[in-house]
Amino acid sequence: MPDEEAQKQNRQVRGHQILNDGTSETLKGFACSPGKVTAEASVILSPDDFGKMKPGTILVCPMTTAAWTQLFAQAKGLVTNTGGILSHGSIVAREYGIPAVLGVGDVTKRIVSRQRITVTILDS
């Protein structure tokens, strides 16, 4: 049965994304920066949306690059569609000391701005 388990895991992880159950209220991703925070979300889809970032919210976005770093000072947490432990967002979130979960898949389609969410990095 090891082959079946490997196939199951391959369906759950695609590249730098966790494939979440579309009906679950709990979304999973890669734990990249420790902590727990509950706050409203700011869904930012591109640099054109940077002005929509509200201070004290959790930044929810497709991914980050160096251009996105300016938003981290305002963010209480970070959640992205793609990425992992060595991604830009992960490294900068650790530098700013904010919790981060990356590679959540379709998080930017499932969370809306002003929605109250919790980012939790569980102990392993």
Residues involved in catalysis? 88
Nearest 5°: the CA angle 96, 83, 16 is 160
**DSSP 8-state code for residue 53:** P
Query: Which stretches of the chain are assigned E, i.e. beta strand?
Result: 13-14, 17-18, 30-33, 36-43, 57-61, 75-80, 100-102, 116-120
- Position 25: which residue type? E
CA dist., res. 10 & res. 4, Å (int):
10
